[in-house]
Each structure stands twice: as structure tokens, then as C-alpha cells.
Chain A
Amino acid sequence: AQTVTQSQPEMSVQEAETVTLSCTYDTSESDYYLFWYKQPPSRQMILVIRQEAYKQQNATENRFSVNFQKAAKSFSLKISDSQLGDAAMYFCAYRSLGGSARQLTFGSGTQLTVLP
């Protein structure tokens, strides 16, 4: 079974600065998908960014980008020009291509605080 580890329970960043959230995962599969979800205080889960394992190019979405290191099984999220609205719990998630469930396997989350 796949496991996802987020070793930083809490992080803080100054507004307009850059912060990187870490994620590592364990899998024996060669193809899979990785996701970062944001959960603000409203509890609504919001997709931030996704990465296909077969793509070497790191995904980017505006101020959000990832550093995907397949050999190291690492998938970190970089938030540039941090804004107060970025404050939330961030979850890293893994999704296998195989299996009937196609479910997401989540890490334990990183609580990000943005300081004004």
C-alpha cells in the first residue's frame, strides 16, 4: 500500500515571501498522480496543483509550483508571493493508476500560517 508523509505539521511565512511544504511518498508503482489540496477554515477541499509521474516537467499554477523528484519520491509545494488567503491546511495526496477504487491517499497535512 502507498503511504504519504508530510513531516511539517506547521509552517509559517511572511506575507509576500516564499514557502516550501514537503511531502514524501512510498510506492512500488512507476506511474501515478500526485496532488496538493488546500483546506481553508471553511473545510472545503480545494485542488491546488497536480503532477503526473511520467512527466519530468514540474507542474505550475500561477504562484504555486512543485518540485517533483521521482527517484527520491519527493513532491514539495512552493508558494511564491504568499498571500493572507493562502493560510490553510495543505494536504499532499497520491493516486494510483491501478486498482478499482482510484482513491486518493492523503498525508497528515501541514498547517500554513501567513503573517501580515
Chain B
Amino acid sequence: NAGVTQTPKFRILKIGQSMTLQCTQDMNHNYMYWYRQDPGMGLKLIYYSVGAGITDKGEVPNGYNVSRSTTEDFPLRLELAAPSQTSVYFCASSWGQSNEKLFFGSGTQLSVL
């Protein structure tokens, strides 16, 4: 069973470039999340979605965009990449119950140089 799949695993961008981080889940989860993890810091929420067609900002949304056209997919778009966006990005999903765990992807290491 695949769970949450993120691609790519690693990427190097030049300042000003754009890219899309892909996230797919096969568990029919309603809720999906994008987090970023900076060195020595915990994960911070970028965007989330409670279902297809519904997205909202998290704690650190600036410089990012998302879409949720299907239940399975939740891509994260970086426009005009900046060095401050160098981080590890995690996608996660759940059904939305407060006591349940989140299922995480294996992360994308992004460097902006």
C-alpha cells in the first residue's frame, strides 16, 4: 500500500525559478496538508485542504500556492523561488478526526541557490 507519495525527493532550484511539488494519497482521506521543516525547527503548516476544491492558508503560506482538484492530489506550487524557501517539505493526510494520526510522505529536500 502506497500511502502518501511525494515527488521529487530532492531538488535544487535557482533563485526566481518555479516548481511544483507533487503529493498523492490513496487512502481516500479528506484532509491534506503541506508542512515545511527548517533545520532545528518543528514542522510549520503552509496550506491545508479539507476536501476537493477547498484549500486554506496555514501558518506560513507566503510564496506558495496549492490546488485540490481531486481527493487524491494536493500539489504545492513555488513561484519565484527564494533562498528562504530552502527546507524539507512534507505532505500529510488524514480523514479529519482529531484523535487520529496524520500519514506523512517521505519529504522533499529543496535547496534554492
Q: Which residues of A contact B (CB under 8 A)?
A: 4, 6, 9, 32-33, 35, 42-45, 47, 50, 52, 91, 93, 95-97, 100-104, 106-109
Contacts and interface: CB of A to CB of B under 8 A. Distances in A.
Interface residues of B, number: 25
Given A33-B99, A95-B99, A101-B56, 9 more contacts: A43-B88, A44-B104, A44-B106, A50-B101, A52-B99, A100-B56, A102-B31, A102-B98, A109-B40
Contacts of A91: 42-43
Nearest to B50: A100
Given A35-B101, A106-B43, A101 B107 contact: no
Contacts, number: 59
Contacts of A32: 98
Contacts of A42: 106
Contacts of A106: 42-44
Contact of B40 (A9, A45, A100): A9
A35 B58 CA distance: 20
B20 to A, nearest CB: 20
20 contacts: A9-B40, A32-B98, A33-B98, A33-B99, A43-B107, A44-B104, A45-B92, A91-B42, A93-B42, A95-B98, A101-B33, A101-B56, A101-B58, A102-B94, A102-B96, A102-B97, A102-B98, A103-B58, A106-B44, A108-B41
